[in-house]
Amino acid sequence: MPTRKTPLDPARIRKFLRDHAESIDRDPLTNSVFSFALQLFQDLEAGRTDLSSVAETVDGLHFDLLKDRADQFRSQHTEIGKPKDAFAGVSAKLAALARSDPERFRHTVTRHAGGIVFTAHPTFALSQDLRRAFAAYASKPGKIELATLKTVASDPQPDWPDQITLTHEHEEAQDAITNAQDAAGHYAGIMVDAARKSLDDWRSLRPVLPTLASWVGYDLDGRTDIHWSQSITLRLREKAAQLAYYRGRLSNFAEFETLTSLEKRLAAAEAHTEAAAEKFGQDLSDPDALSEAANFLTAASDAKITDAATLTDPLTKLIEDPETPDETAAALMVLRAEVDALQLGTARIHLRVNAAQVRTVLQRDLDLETEDSELGRLALSKLSEMAGSTEVRPVNFADLFLEQSTARRQFMMCAQILKHIDAGSPIRFLIAESENPATVMGALHLARQYGVDHALDISPLFETPEALETGGRFVERLLEEESFCAYIKARGYLSIQLGFSDSGRFIGQVAGNMAIERIHSLIGRALGDVLPGTGLLVFNTHGESIGRGAYPGTFEQRHDHLLTPWTRNELLARDIQPIHEVSFQGGDGFLHFATPELSRATYAAFCEHILSEPGSTEDDAFYTQTDFVWDAYRALRAWHEALFVDEDYGALLGGFTAGFLVKAGSRPVKRAGGPTGPSAIRAISHNAMLQQLGVPLNSACGIGSAMPRETDRMRAIINASPRLHALIMLATKARMLTSLPVLRGYASVFDPHVWLAVSRHGEIGETAPLRRVADVLSDQHTSTSLQRIANRLSVDLVEFDTLLASLDDAPSVERRHEDRLNFHALHAIRQALMMYALSLTGRLRGVSARHDTSRDDIIALVLAMRIEEAADLLETIYPPSQGDVDVFSQIEEPGFETGHSGAAGYDRLHEELIMPLRHCGVLISRLSIATSHAFGAWG
């Protein structure tokens, strides 16, 4: 029989998959993905191909998916590479408004309408070099940039995960913020230019820029590794960088003595701030070091600047002075707008704690229980009374050092930042997992206790099903308290945060989106009834993939998805001004600001959003046929909630799948303590696992099962409703990437029957190792759990596919199959590598009892995809020769061991088993990165 060669060329792999998929009509049980995996596994076993050839194929497929992702990313930034400027649309809109309605123009450019927030989390899966090459190609897709991208993509950079630290994440955030500041300054210039051309009193205008903010270095939710001194140090470094930026801008006005003098003062303040950062960056567990740093920062000094008015007041005088040339006044107005927006930092800061951390303080210090059945009614009333009459406590850095409570320490830190670093920059105080209004009132009490309520925006985060369900009543109850209303009046707006990632994890993205839009409305209604004329600041946090809330389309569609035109219209009708903040998260999100070109396109798109009038939604069936829509919502939510607690779903996420995840950030994958099972897995990791299994079910599934008996009515509403159609298109995008053959292929890897069948009938070298693997698998239920979940999804997707086939603009089945061929190829190769790694460990003859492990233990590690750990353990048990023979090369008497190189170690075992096993692990990790490109982000 002639030797068959596995088609490792990507084009031939696609043909193999296509041909096998077409045979499904003859063989309903065929699986093109696992068919290729099985063939490749046998070729590796029989020596017809090797891991080096597989690595070349992985590089080729990786690059194909990476380039597709970069091209789609580029298309999202629509103005890149075009002759017109990214801000051309914004500029035309503002110029027309200034000409036609000067008063409305003045109101538009002087109101706080929203901002951009840079958040981190574990989404730095791509190396920094790869992201830079990606951004360069997306900004300018030339031959050189493409060649560089290809070269960097083929470099696995194994040291990259160890480089991802909090400090690294902060540096990356600051790089993105630098480009965002460039875009903000450009926008300020456009506003001032439009005013100059149409307003006689244009110098009196004080434009307001969309804010820039960051929580990188200040987010303590779910992590305990950020010491308060690190946050202070980072803030001081940010201040020093911003003072240097302002100083550089002032150097352009050397003809003005006032500004020359101010530039010198900024130079002294910059040096003072850098010195303070150096002192706070030391080990402050030493009381002497803490005292030195604290005394230096808090001491009165002519070099210290803590209020941005020190800069803006002289600028305003020159702007209003008729002797100042128009061009100079306009330039100073732009600079003043930047200082107004950023104050004495590179961006505003978001501190984040968990509600449990606030409750701990209330229960420990105040003996208040916040978990009673009336949503903490008694505690809320008591805290409201306390918040109305709280005396301010003085704070020093020793207090910070001695305080053990995380939440109280954060309030103290706010006080010190406002007193000694930046007095004028509002601080967001985010409270994650908010389900109780007493927690927010407790935070207000603590803010007043430390005298920071005037600058603190206390913001509950609604993300759990319970919080989304009760959030409206939550805010209603808060607004019944006079002290809370007084606080909102003083701030001018109520701040809330909505988490698309976690809501989509628990109840699915489509249902989560519907619940979030509902809570927007309920909170707006409550606020409008009590405090009309105020604002509602909505910070919508999400990732960059469909499974975590990012809409797969233009920026306009994305922003309207996060804060819908219907919601904005509802708020305006209730005399509530919407203030919309959006997140750009981690390495994937920072890509949007990785170059000046990308940054300007991204920022301009956000400006278009906040300047636009929301379109009419009066005739949208989603909002008129509410009984049907909310019946569908409840059914969809119930489907996801039932799946989430299914034991088989826990097995899907609780075993080998975690081994596919690469370290992609400085925050842990799982929460410490608390719940177990899927609830313990963070939203990013949860979504990444679904991606890695080829089933983004939290976005694609459940719809087919929600209203199976009213498909015709559902179809009619989808085609007639822009809002529901947009939601279904998100699910459709996920459906295009959902592959039951992939999931069933992984189930087959863990099926003992498959291993026994291949051992009897496959084209392999040794059969005993396969039987040993089958024996270990016989006691496991992984395959059964995966098949059960696949069956459950199959029933749902049959209905969903029927619905999609009848929609006006849904993609065809043929397109779906063709578009995911590369995706299928990646998974098939990984399944083959998993089997090969298991077969390699099955070759072990046995392990000495003195090592306190067994062959089955080694196989179990590989089954859990802890391949590197298994290889390290084997290397400990079977150490390679270390050149021992060379040490005794002067001994003349012949000896057997010294006459055979490597005989003293286990070199042959390393060459034939341990090294290939380690290579399999590396390739599987590289495949994880490659797979994520299909989803546009990690997790």
pLDDT digit string, tens, across residues 341-373: 999 999 999 999 988 888 888 887 777 665 544
Sorted by sequence, the CB contacts under 8 Å of residue 496 that are 6+ apart come out as 459, 460, 461, 462, 471, 475, 523, 536, 537, 538, 539
Residue with token string 């096993």: 917
Decide if 336 contacts 206 (C-beta within 8 A).
yes
Tens digit of each residue's pLDDT (9 = 90 or more) over 256-290: 999 999 999 999 999 999 999 999 999 999 999 99
> What count of other Cβ atoms lies within 10 Å of the Cβ of residue 806?
14
Residues 10-22 have pLDDT tens digits of 899 999 999 888 8
Element (H, E) at 406: helix 406-420
Average pLDDT over residues 333-337: 98
Q: Which residues pair with 115 in a beta bridge?
A: 211, 581
**CA-to-CA distance for 573 and 93, rounded, in angstroms?**
23
Do 447 and 416 form a contact (C-beta atoms < 8 A)? Answer: no
Q: What is the mean pLDDT of the chain?
A: 91
Residue type for 95, please?
Answer: A
Count of CB atoms within 10 A of residue 753's CB? 12
- Its sign, for the CA torsion 840, 845, 848, 854, is positive
User: What is the β-pairing status of strands 348-354 and 211-214?
Assistant: parallel
Residues 321 and 893: their CA atoms lie apart, in Å, by 99
Section 458-481 average pLDDT? 92
Of 66-70, 177-181, 888-892, give the lowest mean pLDDT range.
888-892
For the chain, give the percent of residues with pLDDT over 70. Answer: 94
User: Is residue 699 within 8 Å of 736, Cβ to Cβ?
Assistant: no
- CB count in 10 Å sphere of residue 255: 9
What number of other Cβ atoms are within 10 A of residue 230's Cβ?
18
Instruction: Kindly report the pTM of this predicted structure.
Output: 0.94
In the prediction, which pLDDT does 670 show? 65
What is the predicted pLDDT for the residue at 674?
56
What DSSP letter does each residue of 688-706 carry, written as one string? HHHHHTT--HHHHSSHHHH
Alpha-carbon gap, residue 422 to 269, rounded angstroms: 12
Residue 936: CB atoms within 10 A of its CB come to: 20
Reference 687, options 677, 697, 675, 676; nearest CA is 697
pLDDT of residue 650: 94
Q: What is the pLDDT of residues 371-424, one digit of tens each?
A: 544 446 777 788 888 877 778 899 999 999 998 888 999 999 999 999 999 999
For residues 527 and 617, give the distance between their C-alpha atoms in angstroms, rounded to a whole number.
22
Cα–Cα distance for residue pair 789/742, rounded to 1 Å: 12
Token readout for 143 is 């031959």
Residue 678 confidence (pLDDT): 86
Q: What is the pLDDT of residue 2?
A: 44
Lowest mean pLDDT among 177-191, 482-496, 898-912: 898-912
Question: DSSP labels for 867-899?
Answer: HHHHHHHHHHHSPPP-SHHHHTTT--S--HHHH
Give yes or no for a contact between 438 and 379, defined as CB atoms under 8 angstroms apart.
Answer: yes
pLDDT exceeds 90 at position 294: yes
* Per-residue pLDDT tens digits for 609-646: 999 999 999 999 999 999 999 999 999 999 999 999 99
Task: Decide if pLDDT at 904 tops 80.
Answer: no
1 by Cβ neighbours in 10 Å (0-12 / 13-18 / 19+) ranks as exposed
The residue among 636, 637, 692, 638 whose CA lies nearest residue 664 is 692
172 against 160, higher pLDDT:
172
Mean pLDDT of 881-891: 63
Q: Is the pLDDT of residue 854 over 90?
A: no
pLDDT of residue 8: 85
State the pLDDT confidence band at 762, using cuts at 50, 70 and 90.
confident
Which pLDDT does position 588 carry in this prediction? 96
Q: How confident is the model at residue 223 (pLDDT cuts 50, 70, 90)?
A: confident
pLDDT at 371: 53
In this structure, are residues 917 and 669 in contact, taking their beta carbons and an 8 Å threshold?
A: no
Contact status, residue 639 vs residue 667, Cβ threshold 8 Å: no
Query: So what's the pLDDT on residue 704?
Result: 92
Q: Crossing angle of helices 782-805/647-654, nearest 10°?
A: 110
Beta-carbon contacts of residue 757 (< 8 Å; ≥ 6 apart): none
What pLDDT score was predicted for residue 711?
Answer: 85
pLDDT at 897 over 60: no
DSSP letter for 539, please. Answer: E
Question: CA 313, CA 333: separation in Å to the nearest integer?
Answer: 12
Inter-residue contact 346 to 174 (CB < 8 Å): yes
Structure tokens at 102: 């000067």
> Could you give the CA distance from residue 815 to residue 586 in angstroms, rounded to a whole number?
32
What is d(CA 562, CA 63) in angstroms, rounded to the nearest whole number? Answer: 31
Q: Mind listing the pLDDT tens digit for each residue in 641-678?
A: 999 999 999 999 988 999 999 988 887 766 655 566 78
Q: Which two tokens stand for residue 99?
A: 């000409």
pLDDT digits 0-9 by tens, 696-736: 999 999 999 987 778 889 999 999 999 999 999 999 999 99
Give pLDDT, residue 370.
Answer: 53
pLDDT of residue 273: 98
> Average pLDDT for residues 520-527, to the nearest whole number?
96
Kindly indicate the confidence band of residue 883, based on its pLDDT and cuts at 50, 70 and 90. low
Q: Which of 238-252, 315-329, 748-762, 810-824 has the lowest mean pLDDT?
A: 810-824
d(CA 242, CA 235): 11
Which is more confidently placed, 891 or 728? 728
DSSP states of 581-640: EEEEEHHHHHGGGSSHHHHHHHHHHHHHHHHSPPPP-TT-HHHHSHHHHHHHHHHHHHHH
Across-strand partners of 457?
428
Residue 81 region, left (φ>0) first, then alpha (ψ -120 to 50), else beta? Answer: left
| Integer CA distances (angstroms), 659 to 156, 219, 261, 612, 834, in order | 17, 27, 59, 45, 11
Query: Would you say the C-alpha torsion 670, 673, 675, 677 has a positive or negative sign?
Result: positive
Instruction: Supply the DSSP string of 270-322, one letter for each residue.
Output: HHHHHHHHHHHTS-TTSHHHHHHHHHHHHS--TT----THHHHHHHHHHHH-T
Joined together, the tokens standing for residue 22 give: 């077409």
Angle between helices 32-46 and 821-842 (to 10 degrees): 40
Q: Give the separation between CA 166 and CA 149, rounded to whole angstroms.
A: 26
Q: β-pairing, 211-214 with 114-119? A: parallel
Angle, vertex CA 355, rays to CA 387 and CA 436, nearest 5: 70
**Closest alpha carbon to 657 in 784, 834, 502, 776:** 834
